[in-house]
Structure 1
Amino acid sequence: MSNNTNKAAIVTGASRGIGRAIALRLARDGFDITVHYVGNEAKAQDTVAAVEALGCRAIAVQGDVAQPADVARLFDTAQDAFGRVDVVVNSAGMMPMAAISPDNLDAFDKVIATNLRGTFLVLGEAARRLQEGGRIVAISTSVIAKSFPGYGPYIASKAGAEELVRVLANEMRGRGITVNAVAPGPVGTELFFNGKTAQQIEGIAKLAPLERIGEPDEIANAVAFLTGPDGAWVNAQVLRVNGGFA
């Protein structure tokens, strides 16, 4: 059972999809989990219950990663609950489809706020709070290499996030904290399936040499590697987990 010697992790966007899978995998590795969510409290509580069923403690904290006060409260609540924060995984994100056009500036602003400003705030707060041996992981995307039409705002936000990871790794010099990103290819989540036809999904699956859509657990396994003992010498890297998609 969980006890006060457990390490503790914050996973943003952990109510469903890749974030939920990461939360559960880290719980299997013995971490107490702070489940961050934006709006779906019921799903977040489901993740909490699933973590507790694995023998670890968990809490759910609502907030907007684009708002400094919400991010600070997230970390405060996690530290109050578990006495420490050892790992931070920023998985919160959004993926609206929008062509590069002045008509889509609102969509651009929203995705930049969540995916890029949110990464800046979560990583910055993690840098302020983590101690020697801490691990920071941001979730990016392998679609950066494809430049598909309609993905401009999303790709711009994630490309920026990857560069923040590399810079922060250098800013952590001398503190023993690693900072990395995991860039999934197409993964079978609600975010991915939304708005796509069966034919589109099949076509995307064929793009990778492995000719399938990834599973959330496969992304979570990569995060577990980076946050576990085997990943201690990996730093300032983007790990593309995509079946050869890009």
Structure 2
Amino acid sequence: MSVKKKMVRILMLLFFILATVLADGDPHQNSKQSTKVQHSDQGLMENINQKLDSLTKLVVEHISETKRQVEVQNEELKKLTSGTNRRLDQLAALVDQHHNQLLNFDFAGKCLVSRSTQLTTLSRKTYFFDGKTRGNWSLANETCRQHGLHLATIGSVQELRMVWNEARSIDDSKDWWVSAKKEDTDYHWLDGSKLPEDSSLWWRYRTNDTDDCVSIAWLGEGTLLTESCNKTLNFVCQLPDNCYN
């Protein structure tokens, strides 16, 4: 190897050593710097750990609060569901009840009438003479309604005679309720029409005007008579006129 090359290699080695020393610096100083870095890193990690602990605590609290709210909402939903189910059960029972009631009805024209009702047509009107059930005027009116009818309204002497004859063929020992009733000082039928005091439908021997309800008298050849509304009588129901209109 030539001298020149040897010199170059020595210079390169010296340069490397010098560069290493400059890079490392004072060993004591480097140790101090390393200690500072370690302390700085340790403080940074402690700060990070504290923040992580705080963040974890917030997350746990948020999860707990969310869980509590969900539980409250679930309880409210259970109550709402329970109430809804109860109402649905009541509605289903009501539908079943009405369905069973409808099974006991047939159509008479456009009207539903109880199948147990034996209708009788006289002239142009249809009646039901209930000779089995007896009651006061209010009970008679309600019973007719339950059959899909109403207490009879009499419009003429001829009609009254026909109804009276049919009623007597069923029971000739009792008067029969019809729909007329006193309102204030006058008598009216259920359709709102007035039954005048001087009507030829009244029995001529009628003397008691203190009674509020009206019946067909079993005596008198087909006339009307005032009665106490609490009296127990048979009654005549009528199919509404609009059932066949």
TM range (shorter): under 0.3
More strand per residue: 2
So what's the TM-score if we normalise by structure 2? 0.23
Max radius of gyration: which structure? 2
